[in-house]
Structure 1
Amino acid sequence: MSTTTERSPESDEGRGRGGAAGAAGRPSRLIHSEATTEIPVHLLFRDDPRDPAGVALPSAVVRGGAARPRVEPGARADAARPSVPLPPPVPVPGADPELAERRARVLPGAVGVLAGGVGAAGCVLALWWAGVLPRALPGAPGRAGARGIGAAQWAVLAGAGALALFGFGGLARGRVGGAWVLTLFGRYRGSVRRTGLLWVNPLLLRRRVDVRLRHWRSEPMAAVDRSGVALRVVVLVVWRVRDAARAALAVADHQEYLRECVEATAARVLSRLPADAFHDGARGAADGGPTLRDAEAVGEALTRALAAQAEPVGIEVFSVQPTRIEYAPEVAEAMHRRRIAALDARHRDSVLTSVVDSVEDTVTRLTTRGLLVELDDYERKALVKDLTVAFCTGHGER
């Protein structure tokens, strides 16, 4: 048969001051457990409700008070996703205001074929008139009394030959998805986007520009994140030439210009975000800040920045999407270990949070039903410790 001894407040105060004397008067634990040496739960049993790291502990667990409302893990799911901070725009010199695409004057191809045929026929008639055609083509009918090519025949032959050259030399074939940029002695004269057989002034210099919707996949480009960690980035750019005149004349090579802008823009945008949320000083899931793992937000930022850079040269950028963002080979192994460590720490934190919530609910229910009224602060802390050890042991066996 067991007996219960009464303890006065003086004995409790003496037990707190003297370790040996107090240990002799401690009651037996309410929950027994042997697996207590490897569980780091000592921070839960301090008189100060805050641990050294500044994390507030539940008041119901420490002093048996009322339970505070907990924040659900998915409470931030409906919050608006913040956008990626764009770097300050880089000033790009605008194109010549007079250099804008306009329609050039061209004629149907039938007009060129007709003019070339008339010129060829005129040359034949001039040769026949001069009496040269029978000697050049035996058996062809000749004109009696022909004395050879004179001044008049030369004039007719030159005019007919020039007409034939202009007629046939100006024929061009317009293709779907292509445009001609026409210049005369270095001056822009217009653009042609028509298809089929056309006649263009043969004195004009033609430059063909592809105006179809195109995509370009970059090679792995070097970049750094906000913490200075080396990255390798591959992006997919969807674009087309909107102004053929500016694309052909405002820059030496618009495709090379676009490639250089993609590399520079990617380096500027990616350097404003952390690659992962576990970086020191990085804004991760704790405060809702984006990282480079948010492909949609990063793609929108890259698209806006690149479109502003490519507009002065007549290029329209529809989409810039990162297809691969990874660490550089020299730091990939170290960052992989750091990511695994961060995931492990996050898992341990979630387990500890679950244990604390369970202990808080248990103590709150016991307090509400009046089962812990006769327990003093020491017994209450011992109960909390035993409950924590029990719940941690249960989580470890799962």
Structure 2
Amino acid sequence: MTPEPLRQPSRERAGAGANGLLMLLVALMLLLAAASALIGGLRDDSPTLSLTGVGLTVLLVFLLTGFYSLQPNEAAAITLFGDYQGSDRINGLRWTWPWMGKKKISLRANNLISQQIKVNDQRGNPIEIAAQLVWRVTDSAQALFDVDDYRGFVTAQVEVAVRTIGARYPYDDFEHKEVTLRGDHERVSGELRTELINRLSVAGITVDECGFTHLAYAPEIAGAMLRRQQAAAVVAARETLVAGAVGMVEMALAQLNERQVVELDEERKAAMVSNLLVVLCGERETQPVVNAGGLYQ
């Protein structure tokens, strides 16, 4: 059995629309001619003039059905008994043969905010994502004839693309070693735009910009992940605090030794280090104890 050949996608081409103002002038001339013939036929009781007036009136009505107008950033796909003839993008009053079909389509930018959907990220954690994108039609023939409903097609493909990108990366990385949805917004948004352009090209649609409007853990794990983030933040703060305290203690001992302010044995050095670390790393303010006796009392 011979497989059916693949259907070639539609491609927009210039249509057969004409200048409507010129045809409007022709219609006005026909109107004057038809009125003159009808009036002359009634006045002179001439069947020939009356029939001529009726014929011109029918021709005038026939021509009037071919008029259409295009607003800025609007196109009209012209068809002949279902066969695509081309697209007209010239603004203003236009005219084509009355037996030609005309399907108008907007070429303006559209803004779409998707619904929040639940996706499992790269690590299997459920997250909620919503995206926003600005899209527009670039090929009127593909948008009208290659998909059934191009607006519904955009909505469906946005959800699929968001799920694809959401599953490609983890939501967050506490060690900051991986690309994440939360920490690499520009890169992830760029990949989402590329994914959408590839998916929407079959409908003659491009995406000018896109990004996430909502990105969060799903409610069932949000509390646990928040505690984890808080714990990671506390640990990171403690590490910074301890590193700074150790540096300050080391500097204090070095300066005491260099300036020969006091001679401390190893036991007293250990006690001093312990006291300084407690003072520097403690969460509460410490109360100093003044030694009014000897050096080691």
Aligned length: 281
Q: Which amino acid aligns with 2:151?
A: Q
Task: Tell me the distance in 1 between the aligned counterparts of 2:222 and 2:261.
Answer: 56
The counterpart of 2:223, out of the listed 333, 344, 360, is 333
Look up the match of 1:101.
Answer: 12
Q: Map Cα deviations across residues 69-104 of structure 1 (whole Å, 9 max, x no partner).
A: xxxxxxxxxxxxxxxxxxxxxxxxx9835x221111
Q: Secondary structure at the match of 1:271?
A: helix
Look up the match of 1:361.
Answer: 251
Task: Tell me the distance in 2 between the aligned counterparts of 1:360 and 1:303.
Answer: 52
Choose between structure 1 and 2 for higher RCO, CA contacts under 8 A separated by at least 6 residues: 1
Assess if the C-alpha contact under 8 Å between 1:95 and 1:313 holds in 2.
Answer: no
Assess if the C-alpha contact under 8 Å between 1:119 and 1:162 holds in 2.
Answer: no
Look up the match of 1:164.
Answer: 60
Look up the match of 2:289.
Answer: none
| Mapping for residues 21-170 of structure 1, pairs under 5 Å | 96=8, 99-117=10-28, 134=42, 141-143=43-45, 153=51, 160=56, 163-170=59-66
The counterpart of 2:277, out of the listed 376, 384, 388, is 388
Q: TM-score, normalised on structure 1?
A: 0.60
Q: Which has the larger radius of gyration?
A: 1
Q: CA RMSD in A?
A: 3.4
The counterpart of 1:305, out of the listed 195, 209, 228, is 195
Q: Secondary structure at the match of 1:246?
A: helix
1:248 deviates by 1.2
Residues 291, 375 of structure 1: alpha-carbon distance in 2 compared, 3 angstrom cutoff = farther
1:191 deviates by 0.6
Task: Tell me the distance in 1 between the aligned counterparts of 2:234 and 2:121.
Answer: 23
1:268 deviates by 1.1
Look up the match of 2:205.
Answer: 315
Task: Tell me the distance in 2 between the aligned counterparts of 1:310 and 1:174.
Answer: 25
1:239 deviates by 1.5
Look up the match of 1:239.
Answer: 135
1:269 deviates by 1.0
Task: Tell me the distance in 2 between the aligned counterparts of 1:298 and 1:95.
Answer: 34
Q: TM-score, normalised on structure 2?
A: 0.78
Q: Secondary structure at the match of 2:197?
A: helix
1:360 deviates by 3.6
Task: Tell me the distance in 2 between the aligned counterparts of 1:390 and 1:329.
Answer: 41
Task: Tell me the distance in 2 between the aligned counterparts of 1:211 and 1:147.
Answer: 50
The counterpart of 2:118, out of the listed 206, 222, 244, is 222
Task: Tell me the distance in 2 between the aligned counterparts of 1:331 and 1:158.
Answer: 79
Q: Secondary structure at the match of 2:225?
A: helix
Assess if the C-alpha contact under 8 Å between 1:114 and 1:167 holds in 2.
Answer: no
1:319 deviates by 0.6
Look up the match of 1:182.
Answer: 78
Assess if the C-alpha contact under 8 Å between 2:128 and 2:217 holds in 1.
Answer: yes
Q: Report % sequence identity.
A: 27
1:159 deviates by 5.3
Task: Tell me the distance in 2 between the aligned counterparts of 1:269 and 1:332.
Answer: 20
Residues 373, 239 of structure 1: alpha-carbon distance in 2 compared, 3 angstrom cutoff = same
Assess if the C-alpha contact under 8 Å between 1:108 and 1:198 holds in 2.
Answer: yes
1:195 deviates by 1.4
Task: Tell me the distance in 1 between the aligned counterparts of 2:250 and 2:77.
Answer: 77
Assess if the C-alpha contact under 8 Å between 2:16 and 2:78 holds in 1.
Answer: no
Task: Tell me the distance in 2 between the aligned counterparts of 1:290 and 1:354.
Answer: 30
Assess if the C-alpha contact under 8 Å between 2:14 and 2:86 holds in 1.
Answer: yes
1:263 deviates by 1.0
Q: Secondary structure at the match of 2:168?
A: coil
1:211 deviates by 0.2
1:313 deviates by 1.8
Residues 274, 234 of structure 1: alpha-carbon distance in 2 compared, 3 angstrom cutoff = same
Residues 262, 367 of structure 1: alpha-carbon distance in 2 compared, 3 angstrom cutoff = farther
1:199 deviates by 0.7
1:325 deviates by 0.9
Task: Tell me the distance in 2 between the aligned counterparts of 1:236 and 1:223.
Answer: 16
Assess if the C-alpha contact under 8 Å between 1:119 and 1:164 holds in 2.
Answer: yes
Q: Which amino acid aligns with 1:397?
A: E
Q: Which amino acid aligns with 1:112?
A: M
More deviation, 365-374/115-124 = 365-374
Look up the match of 1:73.
Answer: none
Look up the match of 1:33.
Answer: none
Assess if the C-alpha contact under 8 Å between 2:170 and 2:179 holds in 1.
Answer: no
Assess if the C-alpha contact under 8 Å between 1:240 and 1:317 holds in 2.
Answer: yes
